[in-house]
Chain A
Amino acid sequence: GNSVTQMEGPVTLSEEAFLTINCTYTATGYPSLFWYVQYPGEGLQLLLKATKADDKGSNKGFEATYRKETTSFHLEKGSVQVSDSAVYFCALRTGGSYIPTFGRGTSLIVHP
């Protein structure tokens, strides 16, 4: 079956620090990969996606590269802001399965 493993949180950083949140996956078939963000009190929002190997998804200064050889999709941002404090979910979906697979989420706390 499919699975997504994310690094445990919380991740605590100072403003302007570099962010990496690790995500690795196992999948039967060729997945599309996603990062979603959930701000306090809100639903999840799509942050970025990649649909094939070596694709780089990017949005709002966040980036993630689809690495098929290491089955990874790590989220990075060069300089985090307090407003980036949220929970980040890595997810995948294969064409052969109707069921999306989410990681458990990683909480990010950014201090001024």
Chain B
Amino acid sequence: SQQGEEDPQALSIQEGENATMNCSYKTSINNLQWYRQNSGRGLVHLILIRSNEREKHSGRLRVTLDTSKKSSSLLITASRAADTASYFCASNYGGSQGNLIFGKGTKLSVKP
């Protein structure tokens, strides 16, 4: 399976702390994307990092990509209770339009 894997599966932190989630994938990618899903809702795109990029920032989000290790990390700084959600990485292998492979997600709980 080409499916990526997030680590940890679940993460519980206090408001104000940083949250780090990791993602591994199996073959060469064009880009890697992170999505957020509130319980019972659709996914929302957060950030995309291309294979030739090593780090990207968007507000309180920081994403890194290490293509030699086939891994990515998502850091949420100064977390808030509203950040409570599941976070998914999605690996884009290029080629046909269907080649976006999602991991199983990290369930983040931020306690006030």
Chain A bound to chain B: no
Chain A positions within 8 Å of B, measured between CB atoms, are none
Chain B positions within 8 Å of A, measured between CB atoms, are none
